[in-house]
A and B are shown apart, each in its own frame.
Chain A
Amino acid sequence: MTADPADGPARAPEDTRAARPATAPPAVKAPPRGRGPGRLALALLAPGLLALLLTYALPLVWVVRMSLNESEEGGAIRQTLSAATFGHVLGSGHYWNVIGQTVELGVLVTFFTLLVSYPVALFLARTTSRWRSLLIALAVTPLLISSVARTFGWMAILGTQGVINKTLTGAGLIDSPLHLANNFTGVVIASTEIYMPFAILAMISGFGRLDPALEHAAASLGAPRRTVFRRIVLPLTLPGVLTAALLVFVLSLSGYVTPRLIGGGRVFVLATEIYDEAITALDWPVAAVLSMLLLAVFGVVITLYLRAQRALEARFTGPREAGS
């Protein structure tokens, strides 16, 4: 009863239990009232909110603040409130190249990931095979293995001494090894595989509207398979595809490990650039500005996603209402 929940996160388990009897109406009975959080709610929320504030909210505010500072010759940071660093970054062709490569990588990876994930997700969502759960498990197995290890696996596949080049040269199909690693192509190939399990999961959970009865109905009414796919399956799976697209795009925009390792120092995207500026060049204001730009790209992408989603919904509800 004496424990003060505001003590801090470390004491919270005792706090929780001690805090509950301390307040007259127990948590489970608290009536819905129209006022702000009561003392009990505040006590319960305090450790978590404190953790979020210290480890997430405050640091992000710091980034915003840092983006308005300027770096001076010799690595010193001048505390000021100016858009000079923004101007420096946006006025430089190098950083525009980086932004362009980041978006290009995101678009390509998203496109290829959707392309290779859609058939798998469609199959998993529709199959009645007794192997279904095993196949779903296999599809998400890669998530068990760290992306560093999987990227390492791709280095072993794509490298000049790797599986593909050794096999092709061994078979006499090519004379000199293909350049699949240490470049943009390699990053696209590896990233596509890295994000595939996410896309498959997002698609499967978004395919809820897919009903085999509809396909059967269309087929029995004489629609050819292609028409069934175009008129029934594709529209019903588009919301799931859209969610997967957003997820993969956002993940690949901020992906760091694969561009760094497979890129071999020759692929410059916002994520690698932020790290290099912050750790190698020690130019924190520029790193902060690049972070803001990354978040801005995020904002644009999410806005586009919401628009597309609304458009889809509108198309959905239209014929549905007409049909029922």
Chain B
Amino acid sequence: MNARRLTSTVWAVVLTVLYLFLLAPILIVLVESFDTSSYLRFPPEGFGLDAYRQVFANEAFREGFRVSGITAAATALLAVVTGVPAALALTRLRFRGRAAIEAAFLSPLLVPHIVLGLALLLILAPIPLTDTYVGLILAHLGVTVPYVVRTVSASLVSADPRAEEAARTLGASGLMTFWRITLPAIRPGLLSGGIIAFLLSFDETVISLFVSGQHTVPLPVAVLQYVEYRSDPSVASLSVLLVLLSVVVVVLVERGLGLRRTLRSG
């Protein structure tokens, strides 16, 4: 009995230490974000909101936020617009080569971003589309479409095709069926695919590093360049703000989704 208690205590200690290791950088970022010193050190000099003010005063961060926001929104929209029809074809139609095409749609996930970044640089630089919004959006599209295809396919598979067939039998046009039956059924998958695409694009660092220059610098690249030469707590504050923002976005979308559902059923 005693040996048993000992092992479970050891287990608890080991797990606590591992969790601490896993969460250490986040905890430090949280603590440092309130540090008032202008130089990253431990322990913090004092606590205040100076670093948060610095984030908003930083021109590179503000511009980066704008660039990333526009790029991510456009990328997510394009990924949904190109991914949803593909998911429809892959789940609702049968044709030769379907498995191969499905694999092709997921294959960008296998290519390391460092290689993809270089590849996009090589093809976008001569046109020249590097350091432009169009270039950034194109660069992010390939790595976000697979996620949209996957999430939308998953919700299409779980949605009952008989509802669509019934609508067709009752005389609804293909367009009507898609709009009234299929789309509502896959809305959760579509939204999560869109959100994932947005967040991935907003967060994309390595590919952006290759295709951005001086004028169109997305936030992660701006942060990376900042961290390389300066080490003050404003990067920590910025990270905390971004996490809060993504949580707010996810919660709002979930709320909106739930609200619309209740309205629909009511």
With a CB–CB cut-off of 8 A, which chain A residues contact B235? 149, 152
Q: Does A284 contact B (CB under 8 A)?
A: yes
- Distance in Å from the Cβ of B51 to the closest Cβ of chain A? 12
Mark out the residues of chain B between 141 and 190 whose CB falls within 8 Å of any chain A CB in the assembled complex.
Answer: 141-143, 145, 149, 161, 164-165, 168, 173-175, 177-179
- Distance in Å from the Cβ of A219 to the closest Cβ of chain B? 11
With a CB–CB cut-off of 8 A, which chain B residues contact A45? 85-86, 89-90, 101
Residue among B104, B113, B224, B247 making CB contact with A52, cutoff 8 Å? B104
Q: How many residues of B contact A (CB 8 A)?
A: 93
With a CB–CB cut-off of 8 A, which chain B residues contact A151? 25, 227
Interface 1/0 per residue, A103-145 and B, CB below 8 Å:
0000000000000100110010000000000010011011011
Residue among B85, B90, B113, B210 making CB contact with A47, cutoff 8 Å? B85
- Complex Cα gap A26–B171 (Å): 12
A20 touches B175 (CB 8 A): yes
- Distance in Å from the Cβ of B151 to the closest Cβ of chain A? 14
Residue among A38, A145, A147, A152 making CB contact with B95, cutoff 8 Å? A38
Q: Does A204 contact B (CB under 8 A)?
A: no
With a CB–CB cut-off of 8 A, which chain B residues contact A59? 116, 119-120, 122-123, 142
- Complex Cα gap A167–B205 (Å): 33
- Distance in Å from the Cβ of A61 to the closest Cβ of chain B? 8
Interface 1/0 per residue, B24-46 and A, CB below 8 Å:
11111100100000011111000
Which of A20, A58, A271 has the most C-beta atoms of chain B within 10 angstroms of its own C-beta?
A20
Residue among B29, B83, B108, B114 making CB contact with A275, cutoff 8 Å? B114
With a CB–CB cut-off of 8 A, which chain A residues contact B101? 37, 45, 49
B21 touches A193 (CB 8 A): yes
Contact A63/B138 with A34-B96, A279-B210 known, Cβ cut-off 8 Å: no
Residue among B21, B42, B165 making CB contact with A161, cutoff 8 Å? B42
Residue of A nearest to B203 (CB): A146
- Distance in Å from the Cβ of A195 to the closest Cβ of chain B? 11
B15 touches A119 (CB 8 A): yes
Main secondary structure of the interface of A (DSSP, over half): helix
Contact A150/B161 with A17-B179, A116-B18, A119-B14 known, Cβ cut-off 8 Å: no
Q: Does A159 contact B (CB under 8 A)?
A: yes
Q: Does A188 contact B (CB under 8 A)?
A: no
- Distance in Å from the Cβ of A158 to the closest Cβ of chain B? 10
Residue of A nearest to B149 (CB): A48
B78 touches A278 (CB 8 A): no
Q: Does B111 contact A (CB under 8 A)?
A: yes
- Complex Cα gap A56–B175 (Å): 31
With a CB–CB cut-off of 8 A, which chain B residues contact A5? 85
- Complex Cα gap A253–B145 (Å): 24
Q: Does B223 contact A (CB under 8 A)?
A: yes
With a CB–CB cut-off of 8 A, which chain A residues contact B168? 26, 28-29
With a CB–CB cut-off of 8 A, which chain B residues contact A288? 118, 122
A52 touches B145 (CB 8 A): yes
Contact surface of B with A, Cβ cutoff 8 Å:
7, 11, 14-15, 18-19, 21-29, 32, 39-43, 78-79, 81-86, 88-90, 92-98, 101, 104-105, 107-108, 111-123, 138-139, 141-143, 145, 149, 161, 164-165, 168, 173-175, 177-179, 203, 205-206, 209-210, 220, 223-224, 227-228, 231, 235-236, 238-239, 242-243, 246-247
Task: Give me the 4 closest cross-chain CB pairs, A-B, nearest first.
Answer: A153-B25, A254-B112, A20-B174, A48-B86
